[in-house]
Chains A and B, each alone.
Chain A
Amino acid sequence: MRPIMAIATTTVGEAIRRRVLLIILFIGVLLLSIIPSLSVLTARSEQSTMISTMYAVLRGTSALIAIILTIYMIPNEIERRTIYTILSKPVMRWQFLVGKFMGAVLALGLMIVLMSSVMVLLFYIFQQPSPERLLEVARQPFFYFLEMMLLAAVCIFFSTFTTPLVNFFLSIGIWGVGTVLSPLYSSIASNSGASPIMQSVAKFVTGAMPAFSNYDVKNPIINPGQVIENEQKYFIYIVLYAILYSAGLLVAGMVIFDKREV
């Protein structure tokens, strides 16, 4: 456990100093800051527009940070030869990979906490909501954090055998399918009118691809009339899903990385 923690903390230290990530983070915070002044222009409810736009910025920025942060993690260590010094110590390859993943998740957590704090603060200043409403708004970022953990696991998995460029497009693609297309494939899979081939494809996509859309639980927050059935059960399910799916990807990554020539 000691090597894993040492690698994780060093990874956090390095991640929070990477200029490109800090620039993305800065742009994210900047966009969040201007949203309250833009939402007054909308014809829809000012509050719901503000929340949904802020969530969209938070999610998009977090995803970009998660991908940029993790796709270079292993290749950079190999290119700079730091991996040789580390692996010549009593550190197993799987410990190195888990340490890197944990560091990425911690760094992501820090950045999401920072952006969420700005978001909640702005929401409080501009909307003066009740404490219950504020808590409700602050809940969604936690699920985005789980989504980004899952995305980081996808990127780390690909980084054990692909180049950063290929990894970037693969990860973006999988996240895109898992967020935008997943609900569509879900409905195709359950639609008895669809062709059997389409249903099989849809079942594969919904079953095998990580379901990032599960973590977008903003609808009941934006539209207070909507509710999630068995909310507690659903939240437990998506937390376990994120943990188990990430663990599965990490194990697969470990098997590949263990055989890889570095």
Chain B
Amino acid sequence: MAAAIETRKLTKTYKSRLHGLINVVQDLDLTVEEGEIFGFLGPNGAGKTTTIKMLLGIIYPTGGEGFVLGKEIGDMDVHRIISYLPERPYYYEHMTGLEILRFYGALFGIKDEALFNQLLERVNLAADKSKTISQFSKGMQQRIGLAQSLLNDPKLLFLDEPTGGLDPIAHIEIRDLILNFRDEGRTVFISSHELSEVERICDRVAIINKGIIVRQGKLDDLLSGGRIEIIADDVSKEIADQVKGTTDATVSFHDGRLIVDMSDEQDPNSVVDSIRSTKGRIISLTPRRKRLEDLFIETVRDDDASKKKPAAVAAEVGGAQ
């Protein structure tokens, strides 16, 4: 599969009067395959939006190189087949949903009224097409944003916090739309803080911290190697105590129901055998993977700690001298 996005040592450095040179993004090596939903994660100020802006050619890299759909970033031909939904987008408030689509359509030279209406229907705004943007809720504004991002039938969509600040129903609607994009063969690049959403929809993720990619890979691989959960009924107190004593697991027991949460590196058969030996009933045995939230926190904390260590050592050395 070809790469929809590829960057090599992509760097963005700003000059600050107070702090000198600041590396907002440093030596970014990123590959996003065509047809996948790619999650780009990181804490606030990690360099996510800067990376997206560089990939869109809105700001200029100070080092390295980047390619979008096989062409160098900033190439106008690429802009005809990509699309961008910024974080908390603003649209001209005096315009209606239909007028917004007409305006953005005109930027591509599209005047297809049937397409505009079809897109409004797709994002459930057909009934509100005469309302002005000032009358739109946040969710509606996000949906009109998605509609405008589909005007040119893009191969690649950049979505910056697409579900930020939305209510749960709007979340689900936006998530379904994004999943449909993948079904249609589009590549979706999502920058988000909503880790549970990313975990639900992304194929691969990269975690960026302080401008550097600290982890990147398939979500299944990154989250595998997790835990196993065993739920059983009609279990005696003695067996529950026995399981507690023999395994390094979290065990809860109440009214004959036993729930065991153990590492998948341990053998679950011994627990299952113990339960069944006293006529206990196995309800379920479920391999559980890590949550993205845990992976994200673990990754960012480890990275912060590893970056502090050299500084601390240097301070100690400096102090000793």
Contact = CB atoms under 8 A, between A and B. Distances in A.
B91 interface: yes
Contacts of A24: none
Contact of A88 (B60, B79, B87, B95): B79
Contacts of B60: 261
A129 interface: no
Nearest to A76: B90
Contacts of B145: 85
A110 interface: no
Given A13-B94, A17-B94, A84 B86 contact: yes
A230 interface: no
Given A88-B79, A89-B79, A3 B107 contact: yes
Given A13-B92, A13-B94, A85-B86, A90 B107 contact: yes
A86 B82 CA distance: 12
A5 B88 CA distance: 26
Nearest to A261: B59
A150 B199 CA distance: 55
B106 interface: yes
Interface string A77-108: 00011111111111110000000000000000
Interface string B54-72: 0011111000000000000
B109 A10 contact: no
B148 A85 contact: yes
Interface in A1-50: 2-3, 5-7, 10, 13-14, 17
A7 B102 CA distance: 11
A262 interface: yes
B80 interface: yes
B258 to A, nearest CB: 54
Given A3-B107, A84-B58, A85-B148, A90 B79 contact: yes
Contacts of B58: 83-84, 87-88, 262
Interface in B68-105: 76, 79-80, 82-92, 94-95, 103-104
A10 B92 contact: yes
A84 B84 contact: yes
B53 A84 contact: yes
Given A10-B103, A81-B90, A88 B83 contact: yes
A88 B94 CA distance: 22
B151 to A, nearest CB: 9
Interface of B: 53, 56-60, 76, 79-80, 82-92, 94-95, 103-104, 106-109, 145, 148, 152, 158
29 contacts: A2-B106, A2-B107, A2-B109, A3-B107, A5-B106, A6-B103, A6-B106, A7-B107, A10-B103, A14-B92, A80-B90, A81-B86, A81-B88, A81-B89, A82-B89, A83-B58, A84-B84, A84-B86, A85-B85, A85-B104, A86-B107, A88-B56, A88-B79, A88-B83, A89-B152, A90-B80, A91-B79, A261-B59, A262-B58
